[in-house]
Structure 1
Amino acid sequence: MNHIQFIGVSPNDLIEKIKEQLIPAIKKELSEEFQPKQPTEYLTRSQVCEMLKIDLSTLHRWRKEGALKSYGIGNRVYFKRSEIDHLMNENEL
């Protein structure tokens, strides 16, 4: 076990050193490690068709083929924007 002795250091000096050096380093490390999570944005079928410039029948076929994953909530069908963006970036020419 390590022991640290503070000889000739006043409590106020110690507090100031901690504020100046330790706290900014911890804040920087934590901000790099923990980024805020973006909320998932869901798009309707018509929004996806507009984004991809495709017909509704094409979107339906892609869903059936498994090219796009859809999420049903009640009677509605939604798509995750992040997955649509990934699909668009993956197929760029």
Structure 2
Amino acid sequence: MDARGIIGWNLRRLRVERGLSQERLAFAAGIDRAYAGRVERGSENVTVTTLEAMAKALAVPIADLFVVPEPDATRPAPLKAGRKPMG
């Protein structure tokens, strides 16, 4: 897995663990939702500044985005479709 793939894997894993949609993560990081999706898919060369903003939105150290997944790890499941109830 290349660096972009590792970053995308960890970004999705952390976002799903926190129950955030791509849209909410993008808003919190001050980036476009489509751009966040491309970063997750590993198709975007992301800047350190953007990585820092996303890590801050996820409340994790930036280094957490560079953790190499175990070879047998399964891709994080997507969040349940639809809007969350207002709370």
TM-score (norm: length of structure 2):
0.32
Which structure has more relative contact order (CA 8 Å, sep 6+)? It is 2
Q: Which of the two has greater strand per residue?
A: 1
